[in-house]
Amino acid sequence: MKYGFKIVTGLLVAGMFTGCSKNPVTGKKEIIFMSQEKEIALGAESHPSIVATMGIYDDKNLQSFINEKGLAMTKISHRPDLPYKFYIVDSDVVNAFAVPGGYVYFTRGIMAHFNNEAEFAGVLGHEIGHITARHSARQQTSQILGQVGLMAGMVFSETVRGLADQTQQALGLLLLSYSREHETESDKIGVEYSSKIGYDAHQMADFFGTLKRISEKSGQTIPTFQSTHPDPGDRMNKVEKLATQYQTEHPAKYNVNRDTYLRKIEGIIYGPDPRQGFVEKGQFYHPQLKFQFPVPSGWQYENSPAQFQMASKDGKSMMLFMLAEGKTLEAAADAVVKNYSLQVVESNKTTINGNPAIAMVSNQVAQAQGGQAQAAASSVQVATWLIQYGGNIYAIHGVSAPANFAGNADQFRSVAQGFKSLSDASILNRQPERIRIKTVQQAGTLKDALKSNGQPDNRFDELAIINGMGLNDKVEKGMLIKTLSR
């Protein structure tokens, strides 16, 4: 979570109409459900939710770089008239995605894994290809809005059985799941666009190899860039052939620009940023906001700028932590009840470790399509604590089916009552790991170079993936490599 975010409630709504038009990329006529004006409006409406969910990574030089390459590529694209915008979002997941209307996002996680400008350009072309070929407009409106709504706001499912599924969705950051046909088409467009602005698309193929290695390495974040996509190994082979074919048909000098890119990402944060909150030894710590609370043993969890959420593995209980609306506890309680249509069963003023608080138990009854409340049996029960601390009001919600609520109430209460100030200097001053670019001092293998730069043995495999190399690959004196340090 980050200070100062605005919780976005509800799902975004976009008007759609049916029509027949020519696809800008294929030239074929097709039935679509969104005008270009609606595409642009949808992107603009979705953007605040994406920012609230992930946050923007503040690196002016890197932002300038993606703007420059993005605008160069859009000029040669099939839809140069769209108001394209490019962003780096503050997530360590290896991911890139686009929404209709010209909005393209790269995580800092994927930027840290690129090893040259050509790899970046290939993925940039792939994402712009989704926009120019109107993949989102044709297929993904409901999915975009559903995922953004799930991540940006507090969503209580109609049945507790759905809680585990929702939590699993939230554990992966926003990615638009296109069809395999669309992914293949965007790979081809990525080769074309990146080549047209002067980059070697063979490097795009190499990056699919990096994605495959990440997904195969146990214990690492799965790169959702290829989630539900064709196998990255197959894509690597296909893109390799497409790049060879393009360069055969269009002989020219195609750039890689490895060193220039590596210097651009010097100091980029790698992995989770502890300053935004982290879990360690059964506690969630937030050094920036100076609080902590317990995380139940064995629960799955995910931290984002908008909220911290966690759920039991059996899917029978779920908890969410977020900033509350309102300047007073009473105003915050009223906002919670109104925003989530809760029927309050009990409400009490209390204190939690010296902090003023309100504790509530409520029911949320599912709404039928016509707006009428369904039978109470379909509701969920919610325990809410609103805590005033450090100039903010925080909300902790425990959610369960009525039949399971009593069995989970003590667990919910233990988490809420464990909220307290954070004073441990070793936690408050925890720094993130960063990519550090080093110059190889002596020819040898990547493994030799990592050792000489003081990298720990248990990180060698990970560092090899980050560098897009094998540990036994040869490195020459003067070559740049990535290392990690705090």
**Which band of pLDDT confidence, cut at 50, 70 and 90, is reported for residue 32?**
low
Range of the domain at 454: 433-485
**3-state SS assignment for residue 80:** coil
117 in the same domain as 190: yes
**Which band of pLDDT confidence, cut at 50, 70 and 90, is reported for residue 452?**
very high
**Which band of pLDDT confidence, cut at 50, 70 and 90, is reported for residue 436?**
very high
pLDDT per residue as tens digits for the range 163-178: 334 333 333 333 334 5
Could you tell me which residues come within 8 angstroms of residue 250 by beta carbon, excluding any fewer than 6 positions away?
Answer: 195
Candidate from 139-148, 241-250, 323-332, 410-419 with smallest mean pLDDT? 139-148
Could you tell me if residue 13 is inside a domain? Answer: no
28 in the same domain as 111: yes
Across 204-215, average pLDDT: 91
Which amino acid is it at 118?
A: A
Task: Give me the chain's average pLDDT, please.
Answer: 84
- Among the three residues 379, 402, 428, which one is the final residue of a domain in this structure? 428
CA distances from 238 to 241, 245, 312, 400 (A): 5, 11, 41, 47
- Structure confidence at residue 349 (pLDDT): 97
420 in the same domain as 444: no
| φ, ψ for residue 191, nearest 5 deg | -60, -45
**3-state SS assignment for residue 50:** helix
- Structure confidence at residue 8 (pLDDT): 31
- Structure confidence at residue 37 (pLDDT): 87
CATH code of residue 337: 3.40.1000.10
Total structural domains within the chain: 3
- Structure confidence at residue 171 (pLDDT): 30
Could you tell me if residue 151 is inside a domain? Answer: yes
Helices 232-249, 202-216: crossing angle, 10 deg rounding:
170
| φ, ψ for residue 217, nearest 5 deg | -85, 115
159 in the same domain as 51: yes
Give the whole-angstrom CA distance, residue 462 versus residue 242. 29
pLDDT over 60 at 205, yes or no: yes
Contact assessment for residue 195 and residue 246, using Cβ atoms and an 8 Å cutoff: yes
**What is the value of pTM for the model shown?**
0.78
pLDDT over 70 at 354, yes or no: yes
Q: Smallest Cα–Cα separation from 322: which of 273, 393, 272, 415?
A: 393
371 in the same domain as 245: no
Sheet of strand 85-89, all strands in order from the earlier edge strand to the far edge: 85-89, 103-107, 96-99
155 in the same domain as 232: yes
Instruction: Label residue 385 exposed, middle or buried (CB < 10 Å: 0-12, 13-18, 19+).
Output: buried
- Structure confidence at residue 321 (pLDDT): 97
